[in-house]
Structure formats: C-alpha cells, structure tokens
Amino acid sequence: MKIQTKITLHFLALSTAILLLLNAFILYFESQFNYKDFFKRLEARVNITADIRLFPNEKTKAYQEVRNRYLEKLDTEKEQLIQSDSSGKFTNPGLPPAFFNDVVANGNAEFKKDNQFFAGKIVDHGADKYMVVVSAQNPYGLQEIQDLQEVLLYGFIGSLIIVFFVGKGFSYYTFAPVRKLNDKVNTITSSNLHMRLENTGRDEIAELSQTFNNMLNRLETAFETQNNFVSNASHELRTPLTIINSEVELALNNAALQGEERIVLATIQSETNKLIQILNSLLMLAQSGYDGKKQNWQKTRIDELIWTAIESVKKVHPQSNIGVDFEALPADEDLLNVNGNSNLLNLAITNIISNSCKYSQNQLVTVKLTVENKKVIVSITDLGIGIPSTELQHIFEPFFRASNTHQYKGHGVGLPLALNIIRLHKGSIGIRSEVNIGTEIQLFLPSASA
C-alpha cells in the first residue's frame, strides 16, 4: 500500500474517531438537557398538585385555572397523593421500588424507567404526611432525541465522505514533491549518472535529494572505476598470458625436449589456457552487468537463436544429445521476437545448454520454447546429476560450484553470466533441480510485442 493511501486512511480514521466522540457528546448532553427539562415540568406539577389538594384556599381556584390554561397536559400524566399511616410510614401503591424508597429516604426524588418519568416529594400537612407523585411520558422529547440521532448519523456519513476526499487531496498535494523526486530518479540510469536531483529548500525532501545526490556521486565513481577496469584489463592481462602461452607452445614444439621438462611445460600451458578462459569469463561477466546500455539492440527471433546456440554447443561437445521441442509455438510468429543483443542472448543460452550437456554426461537435454502472457519462455531440461536443494540459492554466485561437481571442469561463472545477461534484457531465470534426477532452467524474456 502506498504511503499516500496510508495517510489518507489514517486521516480518515482519526477524523472518524473525532466525529464519533463529538456526536456522542452532543447526544449525551442533549439527552441530559431534555430529561432535566422534563423533570422540572414534573416538579412544577408536583408543587401545584400539593398546593391545590392539600392547602385549599382562595388561591386554589386561581392555581387550578393557571394550570389548566398554561400548563399543557402531559402524555399519560397521572397524579397520586399517598397518605402515611399513624406511624408516619408509607405503603407503596405500585410505584417503582427504587423511586419510592428514594422519596421516603430523601423527601423528594426523580426517576426514569424507559420513557416513563416520575417526580415526587413528601409534604407535611399538620400531623399527617403525604407523598405527592406525578408521572408522565415524554414522547416528544424521545422523538426529539431520535431526530437528533438521525441528523447526527447523516451528518456523520456526509462528513466522512468529505473528510475522505479532503484527506485524499491533502495527501496528494503533500506527496507531490516526492512524486516529482521519484520521476526524476527514474530517469537516471547508468548511462547518465552525471545527472543530479534539484536541491532547493530546507525540508525533508531537500535532505532526501541531497542523500540521493551523494549516492549518485559514489555510484558514478564506482561505475567509472569498473569501466576503466573493463577497458584496460583485456590488454593489461591478456597480453602477458598470451605471450606466456606462445612461448610455452614454442618450447613444446622442440623435439629435443623430453621427460619431466616437457611435462612441466605442458602443465604450464594447460594452466595458462585455463587462466585465459577464466579471464575471458570475468571480463564478459563484468561487461554484461555494467551499464545496461542498449547498444546494438534489435529484434531477435528466439527460436533461431536456440538453433545457433545448439550449433555452438555441438562444436564444443560433439557427443551431446540435444532435443528441441517447438510444438507449443504460437501462431503469431512476432511473439517470438525479443528486443536485445543477439550475441549476449546467444551466450546466455549457450552457457546453460552447455552446462546441461556437461553435467548430464551427454544424456538427453531438451530445449523447449513457449510463449505465455507475452513472455517468451525457454526451458532447458536435463537428466544429469542435479543440484542439492541446500545449494540452489548459491548457484548464481560467481565462482560457486555445487558440492557434487568436483569431477567436472568449470569455473562457476557460466550461470552468473547468464543471469546478468537475462536481467539486462528485463527478464528472469527460474530453476528446479533434484539430485540424480535432473535440472530444469527456465529463461523468461519479455516479448518485443509486449
């Protein structure tokens, strides 16, 4: 998930929490206000009921008239006047026990059960005590709270939609410099390492740009060093070896040379040739992984390249047994084309087929060509010694050789070289192997039509 998306979601989650908390506070305080207001209305009726029914006088009629004229009749409103017994105790006529006990203990109380509200107090009338209770329902207050809940719900949903798009726009705007930096970095390759990122401002993006520029400085230095080595190593290293090899060969042509001296010179010639092969492989490995410039790149038919590679292998291994499986070729021949350097691709395929022939002791090696999802797949399968499962992860490391290959000649640079070449062509390599069963290596290359 992109950081920009994460920020949007975090912003949305934080806003959701804040809105929920705000709505909860609004609903809670509105409910409390609504209940308190209704209890005040009930208390007023309790006082009026007590004056009218316990202390009748010339004002009683006026109280009654004010009540009828100005106080609305509450829903299911009910008045109760409960007289204590001779000992001053009250008998509960069916009121909620918690409310009744509270009135008896404190002299007055308020109580709510569902949407039924109660208010009451104890009034002294001479030697007698009376409990005056008024109860009623508050459907309008309940409806008001329900309406408020509905308004808050729709407001909450609408606010979340607005917050989401605002957060999305905010994160997009915030990460605009990062996207610009990313686009600029993507344009820098090994062929234009001299380019640098713009470094303006004093924020974190400027620090990141400077870090990239410092890294590019180090990379440019490293690439220049490698380029100089690749350019000069051929002359500086090959020339002495060639001279040594020529001198040894000249000495061996001397018929008078006999015995141990000839054996020593033959050994020197063999080891010199081996050193020249290693040097050539190293130079090719360095060149294939250097810069990725598309020099002399063109459309190349992989099926034709396979035949060329097989021909090259047979020159080195005349006894090799190579089978070709082209039964799954697509009807559209253009799908067999890949963009690349034909010489390098030929080298990679040749190395893998050659390894398969060598390590299978000239048993059947099958080369299969298929196209799937606009990817050209070359499968090379042998019936050889296989590779131990614990060593599969190391076979693409330069100079690494599996523990069961000591009796075979090699330097451990063929597969790393092939991997560099395939990666250079935006492809990949897959491998399956089992000891004493065989090995299958698959090369995946993007079709030129992709």
Q: What is the 3-state secondary structure (H, E, C) of 269-294?
A: HHHHHHHHHHHHHHHHHHHHCCCCCC
pLDDT at 338: 92
Residue 275: name the closest of 327, 237, 235 by CA. Answer: 237
pLDDT at 159: 92
Q: What is the CA radius of gyration of the chain?
A: 47
What separation in angstroms does the CA of 207 have from each of 115, 172, 178, 197? 64, 20, 12, 11
Task: Kindly tell me the sign of the dihedral angle through the C-alpha atoms of 399, 401, 406, 410.
Answer: negative
Weakest mean pLDDT among 18-32, 64-78, 350-364, 398-412: 64-78
Residue 157: name the closest of 149, 168, 145, 146 by CA. Answer: 149
pLDDT at 305: 92
What separation in angstroms does the CA of 352 have from each of 218, 279, 289, 312, 320? 34, 19, 18, 12, 13
- What is the DSSP track for 344-409? HHHHHHHHHHHHHHHHTTT-EEEEEEEEETTEEEEEEEE-S----GGGGGGTTSTT---TT-TTS-
Tell me how far apart the alpha carbons of residues 397 and 419 are, in angstroms, rounded to a whole number.
Answer: 10
pLDDT at 7: 86
| Angle at alpha carbon of residue 224, lines to 218 and 227, rounded to 5° | 140
DSSP code at position 317: -
For the segment 409-415, the average pLDDT, to the nearest whole number, is 78
pLDDT tens readout for residues 239-249: 788 888 888 88
DSSP code at position 319: T
User: CB of 431 within 8 A of CB of 395?
Assistant: yes
For the segment 273-291, the average pLDDT, to the nearest whole number, is 64
Residue 432 pLDDT exceeds 90: yes
Tell me how far apart the alpha carbons of residues 405 and 2 are, in angstroms, rounded to a whole number.
Answer: 46
Share of the chain above pLDDT 90, in %: 27
pLDDT tens readout for residues 310-323: 988 888 788 899 99
Backbone phi and psi for residue 156, each to the nearest 5 degrees, phi listed first: -65, -45
229's CB contacts (< 8 A; 6+ apart) are: 286
Q: Residue 158: pLDDT band by 50, 70, 90 thresholds?
A: very high
User: CB of 130 within 8 A of CB of 54?
Assistant: yes
Name the helix (H) or strand (E) containing 325. Answer: strand 321-325
Q: Mean pLDDT in the chain?
A: 84
DSSP code at position 320: -
259's CB contacts (< 8 A; 6+ apart) are: none
**Mode of pairing for the β-strands spanning 108-113 and 116-125:** antiparallel
User: CB of 48 within 8 A of CB of 96?
Assistant: no
Tell me how far apart the alpha carbons of residues 321 and 303 are, in angstroms, rounded to a whole number.
Answer: 18
DSSP code at position 69: H
Tell me how far apart the alpha carbons of residues 450 and 445 are, in angstroms, rounded to a whole number.
Answer: 10
169's CB contacts (< 8 A; 6+ apart) are: none
Residue 289 pLDDT exceeds 60: no
What residues does 132 pair with on adjacent strands? 81, 121
For the segment 96-110, the average pLDDT, to the nearest whole number, is 91
CA max distance for the chain: 159
CATH topology of domain 298-446: Heat Shock Protein 90 (3.30.565)
Residue 354 pLDDT exceeds 70: yes
pLDDT tens readout for residues 196-247: 888 777 778 888 888 888 888 888 787 777 767 766 666 677 778 888 888 8
Tell me how far apart the alpha carbons of residues 49 and 68 are, in angstroms, rounded to a whole number.
Answer: 12
pLDDT at 66: 67
Residue 407 pLDDT exceeds 70: yes
What separation in angstroms does the CA of 344 have from each of 283, 298, 313? 13, 12, 15
Backbone phi and psi for residue 293, each to the nearest 5 degrees, phi listed first: -65, 140
Residue 381 pLDDT exceeds 50: yes
pLDDT at 284: 65
pLDDT at 264: 85
Q: Residue 303: pLDDT band by 50, 70, 90 thresholds?
A: very high
Residues in the chain: 450
Weakest mean pLDDT among 64-68, 148-152, 213-217, 313-317: 64-68
Residue 353 pLDDT exceeds 90: yes
48-57, 239-248, 379-388, 406-415 — which one is most confidently predicted on average?
379-388
What residues does 438 pair with on adjacent strands? 434
Better pLDDT: 439 or 178 = 439
Residue 347 pLDDT exceeds 60: yes
